[in-house]
Amino acid sequence: MSRDAEINAFHGAGGEVAGHFLSDLILPRFKDRGLGRIGLHALDDGATIDRPNQGEIVFTTDSHVVKPLFFPGGDIGRLAAAGTLNDLAVMGARPLALSLAVIVEEGFPMDRLDRVLQSFHDTLAEVDAALLCGDTKVMPHGDLDGLILNSSGIGIASPAVSDASFEAGDVVLVTGTLGDHGMTILLAREQFELQTDLASDVAPVWPLVERALAVGGVRSMKDPTRGGLAAALNEMARKADLGMTVRESAIPIREEVRGLSELLGIPALSVANEGKAVMVVARDRADAILAALRKHPLGMDAAIIGEITTDWPGRVILDTAVGGKRFLDMPLGDPVPRIC
């Protein structure tokens, strides 16, 4: 990346460019201080701090901007809470407490802020986590488009689960349908004048993760947010330097999402999810974990979608529904509708 270049939207979109941004600008500056097993340089969903004989503290942070601020299935308050809670959950950590920074534009309607904070509160309550500290900044009108939330969180894991400690033969599963959040936002934002019942899946996944951990055999987890399932799987495969084979026909996708994906030319597997986890689990525990997940309302559509291989290390192969084979590649950045 050249130094005189400018930041563009791709840098924050979780795809290939965001990866370069981290490896060029962030990682060389901040050394690993050895506080825990999983540090900054692991680029996992959170980092750990060792507490001898008492498990590990998991620490994470996330900033949230979304347009529109209120969307079918949730709002920026629920998104901020679930986003940070889920980063903790997929590290195997029971969420303990969050911070909340509110950066808001002068003139923002108080009743809207009230609704956002209530939904942040209600989402924390679902997993019995506390708000421990916070901050508010008001920006002059025009310096900010509405509202930005940042939330850091800590949780306790024993032990923490990384996103790349699996081996060939392990099984890949997802906790539910893919693409719901991304397609909902896209639809709400772009005003395509299409009517659907589609709603965001935004929700804390800890109840599902807790059930899976109780069964045992969970090797790795990730929440497929920006860049969707495609980005999450590629990141895991690259870090582990192992291949993944995924069966297209096994991936749960709602009919509405599938239809929109075809209509807009935007792959459902490349758009964000905010209430799902990808798990790599030991083969002999896969069925038991699946059964445990499906007993919870958030996990009804959980499915085994593939397995870890030694073919094509670092890459994800999709066995297509029609019987073909192709790479499922890392998305480049935020997808835009294909026009002509």
Partner 1 sequence: MKRPFSFSDPVRASRLTDAIQRLAPDRPVRIVHVCGTHEAAIAEHGLRGLLPRSVEILEGPGCPVCVTPTQDIDIAVQLAERGTTVCTFGDMMRVPGTRRTLEQARASGGDVRTVLSAADAVGVARTEPQRDVVFFAVGFETTAPMTAAVVVNNPPGNFSVVVSHKRIPPAMAALLDLPNQKIDAYLAPGHVTTVLGTRAYAELSETYKIPVVVGGFEPLDVLYALALAVRQVADGAARVENAFPRATSEQGSPAALALLDEAFEIADGHWRGIGTIPASAFVLRSRYADLDARARYDIHGETGQEEIPGCRCADILTAQAVPTDCPLFSKHCTPLTPIGPCMVGAEGACSIWFRYGGRPDLR
- Using CB under 8 A, list all residues that contact partner 1: 10, 16-17, 249, 265, 315, 317-329, 332-333, 336-340
CB of 3 to partner 1, least distance (A): 16
- Kindly state the smallest distance separating residue 173's Cβ from partner 1, in Å: 22
Strand duo 147-157 + 278-281: pairing: unpaired
Nearest residue (CB) to partner 1, 11 versus 64:
11
Asked if 77 and 118 count as a contact pair (C-beta separation under 8 A), the reply is yes
Q: Which two three-digit tokens encode residue 135?
A: 């901050």
The CB density around residue 196, as the number of other CB atoms within 10 Å, is 16
Residues in the chain: 340
Q: What is the spatial distance between Cα 90 and Cα 219, in angstroms, rounded to a whole number? A: 11
CB of 241 vs partner 1, minimal distance in Å: 17
Distances (CA, A) of 4 to 1, 22, 25: 9, 17, 13
Paired tokens of 178: 């893919």
Rounded to the nearest whole angstrom, what is the least distance from the CB of residue 307 to partner 1 in the complex?
A: 17
Q: Which residues, 6 or more positions from 69, have their beta carbon under 8 angstroms from its beta carbon? A: 75, 76, 112, 116, 146, 147
Q: Whose Cβ is closer to partner 1: residue 271's or residue 317's?
A: 317
The β-bridge partners of 243 are 309
Is the distance from CB of 19 to CB of 333 less than 8 angstroms?
A: no
Would you say 287 or 311 has its CB closer to partner 1?
311
Nearer to partner 1, 149 or 269 (CB): 269
Nearer Cβ to partner 1 (72/267): 267
Query: Smallest distance, Å, CB 192 to partner 1?
Result: 8
Q: Which is nearer to partner 1, 135 or 262 (CB)?
A: 262
Question: Residue 41: in which H helix or E strand, if any?
Answer: none
**Least distance from partner 1 to the Cβ atom of residue 257, Å:** 16
Q: What residue type is assigned to position 204 of the chain?
A: P
